[in-house]
Amino acid sequence: MSDTPTPDELILEILTDPAVIPDPHPLYRRLRELAPLFKTELTQTWIVSGFENSRSLLRDPRCGSPMDDDAVASRIALDGSARRPRDPESQPMLFMNPPDHTRVRGLVSRAFTPRRVEQLRPEIAEMTDRLLDSLGGEGDFVDGLAFPLPANVISALVGVPEGDRDWLRPLIADLSASIEPTATQEALDVAEAAMAEVRAYLVDLIATRRADPRDDLLSGLIEASDGEDRLSENEMLSNVLLIYAAGFETTTHLLGNMVRTFVANPAQLQRVRNDPSLIPAAVEEVLRYDPPVQIDGRFVFDDIDIDGVTIEKGSSLVTLLAGANRDPAVCDDPESFVVGRADSQILSFGSGIHFCLGAALARLEAQVVLERLIDRYECWEITAEPIWRPRITIRGVERLDVRFT
C-alpha cells in the first residue's frame, strides 16, 4: 500500500489482510478521517465509519435485508462472484424485515426474557469456577474458558442436552464462517451443509420438547403465542439456530478481548479490583474498545440523502462498528481504555430493530467472568503471542495463553 492510501485501498486492507486483524483500529481511524462515508469501487458498497451515520443508517427503515433475486447484487463477494439469494422461507429474524421481523422477534422475545437470562447467573458463576479450576491458573484461556463457557450457557438456555454439545460445536463454527465478507463459495457450501445437519438435529429436539416440555427456551418458543399467533416450525428452527450460533463465538471473543485488554491496561484492572461496582462499566468499556462484531451490513431499499450524498436505492452498505465506537465526535480520548466513562455510546450490539437479542446474556457472562477472575487471581499475564482467527466480521483470538496467580 502507498504512503497515502486511498479509501479503497484502506477498506481492501481491512477486509482481506490477515495482518490487520490484531489491530485494525488505526485503519478504521484513517478511513474515518479520510472518507467517513464513501462508496468503494471494489464491491459498489457504501462504507460508513462514523458513529452518527452508522447508527442512523442501522436504524433507518429504508435499510434492511435483501430478500429477492433483484437484491443479489448487494451481496457481491470480494472476489467478484455473486452470492446466491437467501431462501426467504428459512431466514431467521436477523435477515427479516418488518412487518415479519416485528412479529417473529415479538414472539421469540416472549420466551427469551430478561428473567430467563438473569436466572442463569448462579449457573454461569458455577460453570466459570469449574472451568477455572480445570484451567488451574495456566493454559489457553480460549480453550479453557472463553469457548466452553458461552457454548455451555447457550446450550443450557436453549435446552441442548450435554451429550450433544461437543458434536454440534464444529458445525456451528462452519456456519458462522459464512457471514465473513471474504467467505469463499467453498466456505458457503460447507456452511450450507452444516446448516442442514443442525436443522435436522433441531427438528428432532423440538419434537422431543413438544412431547415433554421443560423449563428451557425451546419449550418456551413452542409455547410462545400472541393471541392465536405462534411461531411456525420453520420459524422456530431458523431462530433457535440463530440464537444458538449467535451465543457461541461472539461471547467467546468478548471474554478473550476482556482479558487481553485488562492485561494491557493494568491500572484499569486495579481500579475495578478496588471497586467491584465498576464491573458492569468495565464490560461496557471492553465492548466499546474492542467489540467482537466489527462489521454490520444493510441493503438499501430507497434513496437516502445523507451528508450531502445520495446512497442510492439497490446499493448495499457496511457500517464499521468498531471504528464508530472510537469516533471522537461521541467519545473523549476514544483510543484509550477508560472504565466508567460518562455517557458511553456503543454500537457493539447494533442499533434499532435488530439490536442484539442476546446483549443481556453476553453482558452477564462477561460480568460474572470478570468478577470470578478478580476474586480468584491477583496477577494476570499473557505468556505467548495471541493467535488470531483470520476473520474480521466476528473478530477475536483463537488461542490466548495466560497465567493467573
Q: Report the interface residues with ligand HEM, using CB under 6 A.
A: 58, 93-94, 105, 154, 242-243, 246-247, 250-251, 254, 291-293, 296, 348-350, 354, 356-358, 361-362
Helix (H) or strand (E) holding 256: helix 249-264
Minimum Å gap between C-beta 360 and ligand HEM is 9
DSSP state, residue 144: I
When the beta carbons of 231 and 357 are compared against ligand HEM, the nearer one is 357
Q: Amino acid identity, residue 130?
A: R
List the one residue out of 348, 389, 394, 146 whose CA is nearest residue 252.
146
When the beta carbons of 30 and 339 are compared against ligand HEM, the nearer one is 339
How many degrees, rounded to 5, is the angle at CA 109 between CA 103 and CA 111? Answer: 120
Cβ pair 110, 230 in contact under 8 A: no
Cell output for 189? 457450501
When the beta carbons of 28 and 349 are compared against ligand HEM, the nearer one is 349
When the beta carbons of 51 and 349 are compared against ligand HEM, the nearer one is 349
Sign of CA dihedral 171, 176, 178, 181: negative
Minimum Å gap between C-beta 1 and ligand HEM is 28
When the beta carbons of 7 and 369 are compared against ligand HEM, the nearer one is 369
Minimum Å gap between C-beta 357 and ligand HEM is 4
Sign of CA dihedral 256, 290, 284, 183: negative
Cell output for 114? 430478561
Minimum Å gap between C-beta 113 and ligand HEM is 12
Minimum Å gap between C-beta 365 and ligand HEM is 8
CA dihedral 135, 277, 378, 269 (to 10 degrees): 100
Give the span between the Cα atoms of 315 and 57, in whole angstroms.
13
Minimum Å gap between C-beta 233 and ligand HEM is 18
When the beta carbons of 206 and 254 are compared against ligand HEM, the nearer one is 254
When the beta carbons of 292 and 386 are compared against ligand HEM, the nearer one is 292
When the beta carbons of 7 and 327 are compared against ligand HEM, the nearer one is 327
Give the span between the Cα atoms of 154 and 247, in whole angstroms.
6
Q: Which residues contact 39 (CB under 8 A, 6 or more apart)?
A: 45, 46, 47, 315
Q: Which residues contact 293 (CB under 8 A, 6 or more apart)?
A: 250, 321, 348, 349, 350, 393, 394, 395
Minimum Å gap between C-beta 248 and ligand HEM is 8
Which residue has the closest beta carbon to ligand HEM? 358
When the beta carbons of 272 and 357 are compared against ligand HEM, the nearer one is 357
Minimum Å gap between C-beta 359 and ligand HEM is 7
DSSP state, residue 293: B
Cell output for 147? 469457548
Minimum Å gap between C-beta 393 and ligand HEM is 10
